[in-house]
Amino acid sequence: MNIDGTTKVGHLAAEHPLATRVFARHGIDFCCGGGKPLGDVCAGRGLDLDTVIGEIEVEVERADEPETRWDEEPLTDLIDHILETYHASLREELPRLESMAAKVLRAHGDKEPEMLSELARVVGGLKAELEAHMLKEEQVLFPMIRAGQGRMAVDPVSVMEYEHEAAAAALRQLRELTDGYQVPEAACNTWRALWHGLADLERATHQHVHLENNILFPRALAGASA
Protein backbone atom coordinates (compact mmCIF):
# COMPACT_ATOMS: atom_id res chain seq x y z
CA MET A 1 0.00 0.00 0.00
CA ASN A 2 1.24 3.46 -0.89
CA ILE A 3 -0.72 5.94 1.24
CA ASP A 4 0.41 9.33 2.46
CA GLY A 5 -1.05 12.69 3.37
CA THR A 6 -1.55 13.68 -0.27
CA THR A 7 -3.71 10.65 -1.11
CA LYS A 8 -7.27 11.75 -1.88
CA VAL A 9 -9.84 10.25 0.46
CA GLY A 10 -12.18 9.23 -2.36
CA HIS A 11 -9.35 7.59 -4.32
CA LEU A 12 -8.33 5.68 -1.22
CA ALA A 13 -11.90 4.47 -0.65
CA ALA A 14 -12.10 3.29 -4.27
CA GLU A 15 -8.72 1.54 -4.27
CA HIS A 16 -9.10 0.03 -0.79
CA PRO A 17 -12.84 -0.29 -0.01
CA LEU A 18 -12.20 -1.50 3.55
CA ALA A 19 -10.66 1.90 4.31
CA THR A 20 -14.22 3.17 4.55
CA ARG A 21 -14.54 1.34 7.87
CA VAL A 22 -11.81 3.56 9.28
CA PHE A 23 -13.34 6.67 7.75
CA ALA A 24 -16.72 5.86 9.32
CA ARG A 25 -15.02 5.22 12.67
CA HIS A 26 -13.47 8.70 12.67
CA GLY A 27 -16.29 10.59 10.97
CA ILE A 28 -14.27 11.22 7.79
CA ASP A 29 -16.41 12.20 4.81
CA PHE A 30 -15.26 9.97 1.94
CA CYS A 31 -18.26 10.53 -0.35
CA CYS A 32 -18.99 14.23 -0.93
CA GLY A 33 -15.62 15.12 0.60
CA GLY A 34 -13.74 12.51 -1.40
CA GLY A 35 -11.61 15.06 -3.26
CA LYS A 36 -9.72 16.17 -0.14
CA PRO A 37 -6.21 14.89 0.73
CA LEU A 38 -6.12 12.53 3.70
CA GLY A 39 -3.56 14.69 5.51
CA ASP A 40 -5.78 17.77 5.33
CA VAL A 41 -8.81 15.83 6.51
CA CYS A 42 -6.94 14.34 9.47
CA ALA A 43 -5.55 17.73 10.44
CA GLY A 44 -9.01 19.28 10.26
CA ARG A 45 -10.42 16.63 12.59
CA GLY A 46 -7.47 16.56 14.98
CA LEU A 47 -6.48 13.04 13.95
CA ASP A 48 -2.97 11.64 13.73
CA LEU A 49 -2.28 10.83 10.07
CA ASP A 50 0.06 7.90 10.76
CA THR A 51 -2.45 6.35 13.15
CA VAL A 52 -5.26 6.55 10.58
CA ILE A 53 -3.04 5.08 7.85
CA GLY A 54 -2.08 2.28 10.25
CA GLU A 55 -5.74 1.50 10.92
CA ILE A 56 -6.44 1.34 7.19
CA GLU A 57 -3.55 -1.07 6.67
CA VAL A 58 -4.85 -3.31 9.46
CA GLU A 59 -8.35 -3.42 7.94
CA VAL A 60 -7.02 -4.32 4.50
CA GLU A 61 -4.70 -7.03 5.87
CA ARG A 62 -7.46 -8.48 8.05
CA ALA A 63 -9.89 -9.00 5.15
CA ASP A 64 -10.92 -12.63 4.58
CA GLU A 65 -11.94 -12.04 0.97
CA PRO A 66 -10.87 -9.38 -1.50
CA GLU A 67 -13.30 -6.51 -1.82
CA THR A 68 -14.74 -5.77 -5.25
CA ARG A 69 -12.74 -3.04 -6.98
CA TRP A 70 -15.62 -1.12 -8.55
CA ASP A 71 -13.14 1.25 -10.18
CA GLU A 72 -12.07 -1.73 -12.33
CA GLU A 73 -15.47 -3.32 -13.07
CA PRO A 74 -17.69 -2.50 -16.09
CA LEU A 75 -19.91 0.53 -15.52
CA THR A 76 -23.04 -1.53 -16.20
CA ASP A 77 -22.08 -3.92 -13.40
CA LEU A 78 -21.52 -0.99 -11.04
CA ILE A 79 -24.92 0.49 -11.94
CA ASP A 80 -26.56 -2.90 -11.33
CA HIS A 81 -24.83 -3.09 -7.94
CA ILE A 82 -26.06 0.39 -6.99
CA LEU A 83 -29.62 -0.46 -8.02
CA GLU A 84 -29.72 -3.82 -6.26
CA THR A 85 -27.78 -2.90 -3.11
CA TYR A 86 -28.90 0.68 -2.44
CA HIS A 87 -31.92 1.78 -4.48
CA ALA A 88 -33.95 -1.35 -3.71
CA SER A 89 -33.24 -1.20 0.01
CA LEU A 90 -33.92 2.55 0.20
CA ARG A 91 -37.39 2.08 -1.27
CA GLU A 92 -38.17 -0.30 1.59
CA GLU A 93 -36.28 1.45 4.36
CA LEU A 94 -37.26 5.10 3.84
CA PRO A 95 -41.01 4.56 4.38
CA ARG A 96 -40.22 2.42 7.43
CA LEU A 97 -38.05 5.13 8.97
CA GLU A 98 -40.60 7.85 8.21
CA SER A 99 -43.34 5.77 9.85
CA MET A 100 -41.24 5.09 12.94
CA ALA A 101 -40.27 8.76 13.27
CA ALA A 102 -43.94 9.73 13.23
CA LYS A 103 -44.81 7.00 15.74
CA VAL A 104 -42.07 8.05 18.16
CA LEU A 105 -43.16 11.67 17.88
CA ARG A 106 -46.77 10.75 18.69
CA ALA A 107 -45.82 8.55 21.61
CA HIS A 108 -42.96 10.55 23.13
CA GLY A 109 -43.37 14.07 21.78
CA ASP A 110 -43.94 15.33 25.31
CA LYS A 111 -40.42 14.22 26.34
CA GLU A 112 -38.44 15.82 23.49
CA PRO A 113 -40.97 17.94 21.54
CA GLU A 114 -38.57 20.13 19.55
CA MET A 115 -36.03 17.42 18.74
CA LEU A 116 -38.51 14.71 17.76
CA SER A 117 -40.63 17.11 15.72
CA GLU A 118 -37.61 18.38 13.80
CA LEU A 119 -36.29 14.84 13.33
CA ALA A 120 -39.61 13.69 11.82
CA ARG A 121 -39.54 16.69 9.49
CA VAL A 122 -35.97 16.00 8.33
CA VAL A 123 -36.62 12.28 7.83
CA GLY A 124 -39.71 13.04 5.75
CA GLY A 125 -37.86 15.57 3.64
CA LEU A 126 -34.91 13.24 3.10
CA LYS A 127 -37.27 10.44 2.04
CA ALA A 128 -38.93 12.66 -0.56
CA GLU A 129 -35.59 13.96 -1.86
CA LEU A 130 -33.96 10.53 -2.16
CA GLU A 131 -36.98 8.96 -3.86
CA ALA A 132 -37.03 11.73 -6.48
CA HIS A 133 -33.24 11.52 -6.82
CA MET A 134 -33.31 7.78 -7.50
CA LEU A 135 -35.95 8.21 -10.20
CA LYS A 136 -33.78 10.78 -12.00
CA GLU A 137 -30.84 8.41 -11.94
CA GLU A 138 -32.87 5.44 -13.10
CA GLN A 139 -34.78 7.27 -15.84
CA VAL A 140 -32.14 9.68 -17.15
CA LEU A 141 -28.54 9.31 -15.99
CA PHE A 142 -28.08 5.55 -15.76
CA PRO A 143 -29.64 4.88 -19.20
CA MET A 144 -27.28 7.48 -20.71
CA ILE A 145 -24.26 5.73 -19.17
CA ARG A 146 -25.47 2.30 -20.26
CA ALA A 147 -25.85 3.64 -23.80
CA GLY A 148 -22.24 4.83 -23.83
CA GLN A 149 -23.21 8.50 -23.57
CA GLY A 150 -21.40 9.19 -20.31
CA ARG A 151 -19.36 12.05 -21.79
CA MET A 152 -22.64 13.87 -22.52
CA ALA A 153 -23.92 13.56 -18.94
CA VAL A 154 -22.20 16.63 -17.48
CA ASP A 155 -25.45 18.38 -16.56
CA PRO A 156 -27.24 15.34 -15.07
CA VAL A 157 -24.13 14.48 -13.06
CA SER A 158 -23.92 18.04 -11.72
CA VAL A 159 -27.53 17.80 -10.56
CA MET A 160 -26.91 14.44 -8.88
CA GLU A 161 -23.82 15.74 -7.08
CA TYR A 162 -25.74 18.79 -5.85
CA GLU A 163 -28.48 16.53 -4.52
CA HIS A 164 -25.89 14.30 -2.85
CA GLU A 165 -24.66 17.36 -0.96
CA ALA A 166 -28.22 18.11 0.15
CA ALA A 167 -28.68 14.54 1.39
CA ALA A 168 -25.36 14.69 3.24
CA ALA A 169 -26.47 17.89 4.97
CA ALA A 170 -29.71 16.20 6.07
CA LEU A 171 -27.78 13.24 7.45
CA ARG A 172 -25.48 15.56 9.38
CA GLN A 173 -28.55 17.27 10.84
CA LEU A 174 -29.98 13.91 11.91
CA ARG A 175 -26.71 12.98 13.58
CA GLU A 176 -26.72 16.27 15.49
CA LEU A 177 -30.36 15.92 16.55
CA THR A 178 -29.76 12.40 17.88
CA ASP A 179 -26.43 13.20 19.57
CA GLY A 180 -24.65 10.71 17.34
CA TYR A 181 -27.49 8.17 17.61
CA GLN A 182 -27.01 7.70 21.35
CA VAL A 183 -30.16 5.85 22.41
CA PRO A 184 -31.83 7.41 25.48
CA GLU A 185 -32.06 5.04 28.46
CA ALA A 186 -35.84 5.33 28.63
CA ALA A 187 -36.35 4.82 24.89
CA CYS A 188 -38.97 2.30 23.77
CA ASN A 189 -38.21 -0.42 21.23
CA THR A 190 -39.48 1.68 18.31
CA TRP A 191 -37.32 4.62 19.40
CA ARG A 192 -34.29 2.35 19.59
CA ALA A 193 -35.05 0.79 16.22
CA LEU A 194 -35.40 4.26 14.69
CA TRP A 195 -32.01 5.38 15.97
CA HIS A 196 -30.33 2.18 14.74
CA GLY A 197 -32.11 2.45 11.39
CA LEU A 198 -31.01 6.05 10.88
CA ALA A 199 -27.42 5.14 11.74
CA ASP A 200 -27.54 2.30 9.18
CA LEU A 201 -29.03 4.70 6.63
CA GLU A 202 -26.12 7.08 7.16
CA ARG A 203 -23.52 4.34 6.67
CA ALA A 204 -25.22 2.94 3.57
CA THR A 205 -25.72 6.38 2.02
CA HIS A 206 -22.06 7.26 2.50
CA GLN A 207 -21.09 4.09 0.61
CA HIS A 208 -23.77 4.72 -2.03
CA VAL A 209 -22.67 8.31 -2.72
CA HIS A 210 -19.00 7.31 -2.70
CA LEU A 211 -19.58 4.77 -5.46
CA GLU A 212 -21.30 7.39 -7.59
CA ASN A 213 -19.28 10.55 -6.86
CA ASN A 214 -15.83 8.99 -6.76
CA ILE A 215 -16.14 6.10 -9.22
CA LEU A 216 -19.20 5.98 -11.49
CA PHE A 217 -19.48 9.66 -12.42
CA PRO A 218 -15.77 10.34 -13.10
CA ARG A 219 -15.40 7.18 -15.17
CA ALA A 220 -18.57 7.87 -17.17
CA LEU A 221 -17.58 11.49 -17.88
CA ALA A 222 -14.13 10.31 -18.95
CA GLY A 223 -15.74 8.09 -21.56
CA ALA A 224 -15.11 4.72 -19.92
CA SER A 225 -16.80 1.83 -21.70
CA ALA A 226 -20.13 0.80 -20.23
Q: What is the 3-state secondary structure (H, E, C) of the chain?
A: CCCCCCCEHHHHHHHCCCHHHHHHHHCCCCCCCCCCEHHHHHHHCCCCHHHHHHHHHHHHHHCCCCCCCCCCCCHHHHHHHHHHHHHHHHHHHHHHHHHHHHHHHHHHCCCCHHHHHHHHHHHHHHHHHHHHHHHHHHHHHHHHHHCCCHHHCHHHHHHHHHHHHHHHHHHHHHHHHCCCCCCCCCCCHHHHHHHHHHHHHHHHHHHHHHHHHHHHHHHHHCCCCC
Q: Tell me the average pLDDT of the chain.
A: 91
Is residue 63 very low, low, confident or very high in pLDDT (cuts 50, 70, 90)? low
Predicted structure pTM score: 0.77
On the question of pLDDT at 46 being above 70, the answer is yes
Percent of the chain with pLDDT over 70: 98
On the question of pLDDT at 29 being above 80, the answer is yes
On the question of pLDDT at 64 being above 70, the answer is no
Is residue 65 very low, low, confident or very high in pLDDT (cuts 50, 70, 90)? low
